Structure 1
Amino acid sequence: MTAAHNSAIDALHTAYLAALDQGDMAAWAATFALAPDTRYFCTSAENDRRGLPLALMYDDCRGRIDDRVSFVTKVWAGTYQPYRTRHFIQRLSMDAAGTNQYRVTSGFTIMMTPEGGATTVLTSGEYRDLIEIQGDGDKFRAVFRERRAVYDADVLPRYIVFPF
């Protein structure tokens, strides 16, 4: 791995977390590759451990990621109690997964504050990513080809609108 690839992956993580914490679903979607087979999953550790394909969010192609943006910003707008999040991550491992691709595992914690309420822990877990580096020369950009958010909680403390 080059220092430029490492910096691009750090920038990707920063952009992803900033998009979610600012409620910017278009910016969230922009962190994913445009390839049709790009995927996002959010599943419980129990389902993951048991090999069950059940997921809280199951976006198995780029089109469904774009659909999620429309649902959150248009269809569900005004139908849920607003809440803010703060995401914290720590990279745990990174391995080459082919030309300009890396498998990256990171731990995460998400804090949640409902409008007019107190801050609590929403959940913690592990991101398992396939990240692709795009570009060449001195201009690199990292994007998710797959992001799997495996959350620790068996039961979440509230309904979930935004991706993890």
Structure 2
Amino acid sequence: MITDTANEIRAIDDLLGRYSRVLDDQDWEQWPDLFAQECSYTVHTLDNIQRDLPLAYMYDDNRARVLDRIKFITEVWAGTIEPYRTRHVTQRTEAASLDGARWTIRSNFQVSFTENDSLSGLLATGYYEDVVELTTDGARFTSRAVRLDSMPARYLVYPL
């Protein structure tokens, strides 16, 4: 029997899958659509988190900055960076309802990268700490906090 909770978890899993696909396909114009109007996206190493250091690889603390991230990729940095392809592998490990419409989600991830059709390598590992909002329009991130196990294998241009 399908329950409301099963439908909510399915919507969350669909969001996690769309997120990976959008980044792996480099469909940059779709990335902001995965976030609610009031949202944040941050990337920190666990070392910095544990030492209470505020330094972040990416710190987009509102929707305007999420939109700016795409503008930097598509316009500002265009032609000045070495492009690479990514492949995300994500596994949801926890899901808890906050109030029925909002859920906290934790997922482990591994992201590989390939430059210039060369051999692939591991870019980053860690986990996501998310707050997801469920509406009639679907699931959206209100907060996506990326927690890196260590420094990435190369500089980061694209969201993880």
Per the normalisation by structure 1, the TM-score is 0.92
- Letter of the structure 1 residue corresponding to residue 51 of structure 2: R
1:83 aligns with 2:80: no
Show the 5 A alignment for 1:5-154.
Answer: 5-35=8-38, 38-135=39-136, 141-153=138-150
- Letter of the structure 2 residue corresponding to residue 98 of structure 1: D
Structure 1 stretches of 4+ with a deviation exceeding 3 A read none
**Superposed CA offset, 1:35-82 (max 9, x none):** 2xx100011110111222210000011110001010001111111111
> Aligned partners of 2:21, 2:66: CA distance in 1, in Å?
18
> Aligned partners of 1:144, 1:67: CA distance in 2, in Å?
17
Equivalent pairs: percent with the same residue?
A: 38
> Aligned partners of 1:67, 1:134: CA distance in 2, in Å?
25
Following superposition, the deviation at residue 125 of structure 1 comes to 0.2
Aligned 8 A contact 1:16 1:27 in 2: no
> Aligned partners of 1:117, 1:124: CA distance in 2, in Å?
20
Per the normalisation by structure 2, the TM-score is 0.94
> Aligned partners of 2:35, 2:102: CA distance in 1, in Å?
13
> Aligned partners of 2:35, 2:133: CA distance in 1, in Å?
9
> Aligned partners of 2:111, 2:63: CA distance in 1, in Å?
24
Secondary structure at the counterpart of residue 36 of structure 2 = coil
Aligned 8 A contact 1:40 1:59 in 2: yes
Following superposition, the deviation at residue 114 of structure 1 comes to 0.6
Match of 1:161 in 2: 157
